[in-house]
Amino acid sequence: MKIMFFSQDLGPSRNLARIAVEAVDRGHEVKFCLYAGGRVKEIAELSLDCDLVVVSASTLFDKADAEIIMHLKNQKIKTAYFSDTYGAWARPAILPIAGLFDCAFVLDVFEKSKAMEVGFKNIVVSLVPLWEEFSKPPLYTSDDIRMTLGIKRDAKIVLFMGIKKGEITKRALGDLLGALWRSNIDYFLLPRFRKEDEFYEDGFYESFLNSRITCWKDS
């Protein structure tokens, strides 16, 4: 079988890449169109000689995802939907076409029940490859990590992830910093920004250097 794995988002792409390796090990021919960024025409053309396209929808390009899926069905190409997190099958542009998928993969039996209600069929509970990797025993202890980053043992570590809408992330981070500054706790803040964010490009990091913040940014 010739399978194409398709997603326009980084997180789902990382999961599909791991599934694709398993497909190759089982003797299937594989095509990739991962982290594609909304290129509808190119993706549609790549899929024309495939027997199956495994789709994991994007949070940014879900309308383009729906357009591609409808094109695949018009070409009589089988499609499978891979839900890489809770509620990913319920993206607004995907719900109206849920019944077009030949099968779907979700996280647990509760997600399966809800996905069936909106029209998905042949649903398999499959978990998420990345999550299984996260559950492996860590290589380093918490003391190792604190020592490497220079974090005192009694300091509270605050993780901040943000979302893909930069302005909302900026406001949320501002509110968080305000709450931390008003508190009496000894903290170490670890924010992780996304490549879609634009606000950090013009001196954003520098403005927080006095706040004991270590910033992680996607490359």
**Phi-psi category of 65—alpha, beta or left, where left has phi over 0 and alpha has psi -120 to 50?**
alpha
Whether the Cβ atoms of residue 42 and residue 69 lie closer than 8 Å to each other: no
pLDDT band at 219 (very low <50, low <70, confident <90, very high): very low
Condensed to tens digits (0 to 9), the pLDDT of residues 7-63 reads 888 888 889 999 999 999 999 999 888 776 656 677 777 788 889 999 988 877 778
Condensed to tens digits (0 to 9), the pLDDT of residues 188-200 reads 888 877 665 555 5
Does the global pTM surpass 0.95? no
Measured distance CA(14)–CA(162) in Å, rounded: 19
pLDDT band at 206 (very low <50, low <70, confident <90, very high): low
Measured distance CA(39)–CA(71) in Å, rounded: 13
